[in-house]
């Protein structure tokens, strides 16, 4: 593979040559722009690590079969973590150039959503719902995947479980009348947007559903009820009705998710 020489001068010099876009973007588009900007920063960070490693013979040394392959994997993972934990400012500059606005912190970093406000005993009290033993047994198979998705996207694992229970009762082969598929009931267009190629694959489905729910929470500034309404009825309906749509299905959906959430918050399952 041809070596890439990276010049680490002024980042803003190159960014200033980008074409300025004057049009306005909605929150969903801004979230996509932010994700792309962060991914670009991660790529640039990986290239800088690669450039530095050339001078030291690589992380694992310049001898040994396959060390160059492992170096590339480590560089990509380290770059991803650096971009998440301490930004280099590249993503912010790109986002500002495209949108004319500062990159919101809730779009720039993985966040933990404060779902504790929905536990029993406060103004948002919802009666807890206990899942069936059969559905719990099915859910237990995916504990590891749920934990991984929770850590990856900074989303409460009990919320992920509650959505899975509401959507499919933890049946990874479930298909709705609207052709939503799998554990978190992804329609094909949403699955494609989230990078899911097989909605019946539990790992892809859980990651895709968690990623989408996280995007909805970001879009609605952490408002769980609005995010759930958007997950169920689509963000276009939330915008249309300026809040939770007056659909019985959506209102019952929110109540059911919160009911399961109350159960999981009080249990060890």
Active site residues: 167
Q: How many CB atoms lie within 10 A of CB 118?
A: 20
What residues does 181 pair with on adjacent strands?
175, 186
Count other Cβ atoms within 10 Å, centred on residue 45: 21
Return the H-helix or E-strand segment holding 206.
Answer: helix 202-219
The CA–CA distances, whole Å, from 49 to 2, 26, 80, 87, 88 equal 16, 35, 11, 15, 13
Which tokens belong to 57? 């013979």
Maximum distance among all Cα pairs of the chain, rounded to whole angstroms: 65
- What does the chain come to in residues? 269
Element (H, E) at 212: helix 202-219
- Would you state the torsion angle of the CA atoms of residues 91, 154, 198, 224, taken in this order, to the nearest 10 degrees? -100
Residue entry with tokens 């989408």: 212
CA atoms within 13 A on the CB side of 40: 15
Where helices occur in 89-201 by DSSP H, the ranges are 90-99, 105-108, 133-140, 143-153, 157-168, 188-193
């Amino acid at each position: 593979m041809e070596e890439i020489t990276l010049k680490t001068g002024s980042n803003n010099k190159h960014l200033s040559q980008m074409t300025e876009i004057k049009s306005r973007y909605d929150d969903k588009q801004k979230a996509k722009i932010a994700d792309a900007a962060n991914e670009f920063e991660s790529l640039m960070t990986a290239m800088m690590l690669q450039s530095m490693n050339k001078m030291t013979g690589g992380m694992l040394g310049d001898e040994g079969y396959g060390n160059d392959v492992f170096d590339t994997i480590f560089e990509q993972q380290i770059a991803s973590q650096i971009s998440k934990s301490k930004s280099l400012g590249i993503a912010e500059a790109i986002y500002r150039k495209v949108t004319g606005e500062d990159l919101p912190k809730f779009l720039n970093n993985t966040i933990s959503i404060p779902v504790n406000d929905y536990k029993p005993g406060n103004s948002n009290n919802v009666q807890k719902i206990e899942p069936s033993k059969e559905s719990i047994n099915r859910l237990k198979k995916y504990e590891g995947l749920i934990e991984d998705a929770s850590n990856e996207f900074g989303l409460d694992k009990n919320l992920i479980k509650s959505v899975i229970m509401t959507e499919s009762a933890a049946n990874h082969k479930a298909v709705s009348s609207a052709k939503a598929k799998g554990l978190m009931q992804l329609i094909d267009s949403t699955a494609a947007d989230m990078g899911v190629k097989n909605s019946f694959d539990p790992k892809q489905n859980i990651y895709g559903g968690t990623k989408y729910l996280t995007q909805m929470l970001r879009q609605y500034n952490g408002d769980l009820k609005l995010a759930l309404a958007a997950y169920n009825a689509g963000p276009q309906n939330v915008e249309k009705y300026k809040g939770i749509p007056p659909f019985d299905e959506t209102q019952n959906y929110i109540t059911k998710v919160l009911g399961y959430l109350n159960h999981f918050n009080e249990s060890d399952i």
